[in-house]
Amino acid sequence: MTRAERAEYVEHRLTELYPETPIPLDHTDPYTLLVAVLLSAQCTDKRVNLVTPALFAMASTPQDMAKRSVEEINTIVRPCGLAPRKAQAIQGLSKILIDQHGGEVPRTFEELEALPGVGHKTASVVMAQAFGVAAFPVDTHIHRLAHRWKLSKKGGTVQRVEKDLKRIFPESSWNALHLRIIFYGREHCTARGCDGHSCEICLHLNGPAKTVRKRVAKRV
């Protein structure tokens, strides 16, 4: 099966499984999405969604957040991990949004990635989910499944995987497809729950695992 055939099957099957692609992080606008995505680094979306109601009740705009101390923000976001760094980034980017962007979240990758705590993946999520710009954010699930499904060379970097996926899938599918892959990776093709031959899609693409028989040397 060629890579193109694999990609066609993956896109078709995931669309059947997940016709709807709700955004996993609770938010009300681009700013609250940006903060939620920043908090999700090395943290589950479920935990972020438990933390953000209290955070956004305290401050849901750059203007309000900039008035809060790093300590106040840190107290609320502590359950997300890496809290001191994240709290400092949230306050810092809020001030920059006010000073340089009129209090609005910028709509370019370059401006987003210039904000404290915002890397390419976070910027991609915001561009895709807040502004509808075609992007293919690669998280741990997508990185794992791209290799298992042989859509990208095994051992490749996140940057390599992103380029490979953008090359083999139509641009119009990127924003929904990256969410569908994440949903599938969480529910069916987990890091330990599938060995690349157990879940439905892996079985279709890779077949059942081959049994390796070891020859036992006869002792003389």
Q: Of 26, 45, 95, 139, which one is the catalytic site residue? A: 139
The answer to whether residue 139 is catalytic is yes
Distance, CA of 50 to CA of 35 (rounded, Å): 14
**Radius of gyration of the chain from its Cα atoms, rounded to whole angstroms:** 20
b/e map 183-196, b = 16+ CB within 10 Å: bbbeebbeeeebeb
Angle ∠(98,88,186) on CA atoms, nearest 5? 105
For residue 215, the SS3 value is coil
How far apart CA 174 and CA 142 sit, in angstroms, is 12
Query: Helix, strand, or coil here: 159?
Result: helix
Alpha carbons 96 and 102: distance in angstroms, whole number: 9
Catalytic residue flag (residue 121) = yes
CA 14, distance to chain mean position in Å, is 17
- Amino acid (1-letter code) at residue 202: C
Give helix then strand counts, H and E, for the chain.
12, 0
Which residues are known to be catalytic? Answer: 121, 139
